[in-house]
Amino acid sequence: MFTGICKVTLRAEWVNTLKEKRMVVKSLISRMKNKFNISVAEVDCQDIHETIVIGFSCVSGESNHAEQIVQNVLDFIEWNTDAVVCNTEWEIY
Backbone angles phi and psi of 76, in degrees to 5: -60, -45
pLDDT tens-digit readout, 29-58: 999 999 999 999 999 988 998 999 999 999
Contact 74, 4 (CB under 8 A): no
pLDDT tens-digit readout, 62-90: 999 999 999 999 999 999 888 999 999 99
Topology given in CATH for the domain delimited by 2-92: Alpha-Beta Plaits (3.30.70)
